[in-house]
Structure 1
Amino acid sequence: MEVLEPEEWQARAEAHRRRVEAWAAPHLARRARGEAHPIEDFLFTYYGHRPARLRQWHPGAGVVLKGARGFGRDYLDTSEGATLDTAALMDRRGPAVEWIARLLAATAARTAYLGCFGLHEWAMVYKTVEVRHDTWPLRLSGEEIAEVVEQRGVRCGHFDAFRFFTPEARPLNALQPTRQQQRELEQPGCLHANMDLYKWAYKLSPLVSGELVADCFMLARDIRVVDMRASPYDLSSLGHRAIRIETPEGRAEYAAEQRGFAERARPQRQRLLDACERLLAGTRRP
């Protein structure tokens, strides 16, 4: 067990709260005003982790917070301080931790595919007038969007993107992913698979540190910017220049961004996988 002195763990908890507040406070202010932001609000509305939960700092499993008492649910008070009741948490979450570990390992083992060019967002507005972000204009007409989708084709293996395709777009996808195929199809070049590292981090919380959850949130936030810049939406009023993937130059730019995010995601994915493996090793009987 690692023992953290009060000065250290209190400083880490406060730094985490300040870091998260810079993301959460603007979102909550917009929500109170009835406003929406297609980029900044996505991680709070699409993912099921509330701002209040993200603000909470946890040291992760195997750490004693010296001098702490009554730190929160899932914690035990010991003679030295508070620590997670890892055994009880793993009794409840062991199968989920194993599932996440297998997905992370399978994804990490694959070569990044950089040829999708973000057309999943185009497939979500293909031949429909009911777009997800209906308060924001499209930068191309419906006919132009359809032409790009039909000429370029779509190759999306991420189920949670594919399930938002319009019915007309689904047959155009080279893959027909299902939830059951997730482990077989996810790959490290996929923007959504790398955004989902945030999902796996908060689902593992409090067994992983608050800093790791926040690191994954920050990565997902940066990815979301590129995801929407490459979409058919016109977000110039928000200061975001479009990545025009309908052109060769735009596709090259998008692939370069994908490559960069794959590199940034690699250590985050490994940190999560290492945490899963440590947790699972502690529950296996000799």
Structure 2
Amino acid sequence: MLSPAQWRARERAHAARADDLTATYREHRARGERHAIDDFLFTYYSYKPASLRRWHPGIGLALGDGADPDAPGPHPGASASTGADAVGSDAPAVADAQDFGPRSETVASHPDAPADADAQGPLPWHGARWYRTHADGTVSVDAEAFLAARGDLVDRIEALLRAVLDRAPRFACFGLHEWAMVYRDERRHPIPLRLGRRRTDEVVEAHDIACSHYDAYRFFTPAAAPRNELRPTRETQCGLEQPGCLHANMDLYKWAVKLGPLVPGELLLDCFALAREIRWTDMQASPYDVSGFDVPPIAIETPAGKAEYVRLQRDYAERAQALRRRLLDVIGAARAEAAAA
């Protein structure tokens, strides 16, 4: 069990880390500007900074409370989900797994909170969706209720995570999915092409493309799609996704969100941090000119660029596999707790 002082400290640390990770996006939004790299993490994955900032203890941790659970306080519960629960749904992701927990900021999560904020007010998770209040006043995630409501979704996520975890990584795609998205087509991105239209098309034509990620492949231009060695579909997702794929590893953030309160806040932010790092690499290796973002291109059309891409790809694959194991451990712990309830 975490005492109020302990969990409030974790909550504050989580909010500070989330704020740091989302600072670029929020600063541009405040100025009414778009950020061509970071925006992807909040548009394609349409979970907002407020969802990242909201800390949850995760499965297996009870939160202590010195206050009366029946007293009024910032624990309004939550509304029902309106999002699609399909693994890898073609629709943009929505905040369908953040419909739980406290909606408003707790006293301690506010940056101006007093030092003794951990002693103020009732526990904000009392009465919140997917949480259970115990006889001693402590609160923990209700794994049984969550799995009863979203068991099919959890099954699909678990199957995909395990399939990718057990598969050998491949490191020969060189990020050509981004190039295939602009092949012989009008520019679809506000950033100009680094090599120009003709040279960009020539790079695609000079390489074999073997993209295994459906949600990348489905954005290939009509001229590029037949050039792909694979024909990924939603139905073949579990059979094709592999741990060397940058987009499969970015998607761990999505799966962490969809697993909702089962996932501790620290793991959620670890998944997001990796997704953000990969996103920047994905754009550096793309056909776009990213010099305006103070990062060098990874010129995958050259031997040196290919070597750099594979070096980073291997590092991301290793780190992503560790996160997959942690997410699978969360699911396993939730199943065990629900079975024992």
TM-score, structure 1 as length reference = 0.94
Contact 1:195 1:219 in 2 (8 A): yes
Higher mean C-alpha deviation, range 176-185 or range 274-283: 274-283
Residues in 2 aligned to 1:62 and 1:144: alpha-carbon distance in whole angstroms: 54
Contact 1:158 1:177 in 2 (8 A): yes
Contact 1:98 1:280 in 2 (8 A): no
Structure 1 pair 285/6, CA: closer, same or farther in 2 (3 Å)? closer
Residue identity matched to 2:266: E
- Structure 2 counterparts to residues 103-142 of structure 1, below 5 A: 103-131=160-188, 133-134=189-190, 136-142=191-197
Identity within the alignment, %: 51
- C-alpha offsets along residues 69-98 of structure 1, whole Å, 9 cap, x if unaligned? 342332232223222222211111111111
- The alpha carbon displacement at 1:113 in A equals 0.1
Gaps of 5+ in 1: none
> Which of 164, 170, 190 pairs up with 2:219?
164
Does residue 77 (structure 1) correspond to residue 133 (structure 2)? The answer is yes
Report the secondary structure of 1:64's partner residue.
coil
Report the secondary structure of 2:62's partner residue.
strand
Does residue 60 (structure 1) correspond to residue 58 (structure 2)? The answer is yes
- State the match for 2:240 in structure 1: 185
Contact 1:229 1:243 in 2 (8 A): yes
Does residue 90 (structure 1) correspond to residue 147 (structure 2)? The answer is yes
> Which of 263, 267, 272 pairs up with 1:208?
263
- The alpha carbon displacement at 1:282 in A equals 3.8
Gaps of 5+ in 2: 66-121
Residues in 1 aligned to 2:265 and 2:54: alpha-carbon distance in whole angstroms: 7
Residues in 2 aligned to 1:285 and 1:56: alpha-carbon distance in whole angstroms: 28
> Which of 11, 28, 31 pairs up with 2:29?
31
Report the secondary structure of 1:47's partner residue.
coil
Report the secondary structure of 2:167's partner residue.
coil
- The alpha carbon displacement at 1:283 in A equals 4.1
Report the secondary structure of 2:299's partner residue.
coil
- State the match for 1:280 in structure 2: 335
Report the secondary structure of 1:206's partner residue.
helix
- State the match for 2:70 in structure 1: none
- State the match for 1:45 in structure 2: 43
Contact 1:98 1:276 in 2 (8 A): no
Q: Which has the higher helix share?
A: 1
What is the aligned length? Answer: 282
Does residue 228 (structure 1) correspond to residue 228 (structure 2)? The answer is no
Does residue 271 (structure 1) correspond to residue 326 (structure 2)? The answer is yes
Residues in 1 aligned to 2:200 and 2:309: alpha-carbon distance in whole angstroms: 17
Residues in 2 aligned to 1:111 and 1:34: alpha-carbon distance in whole angstroms: 43
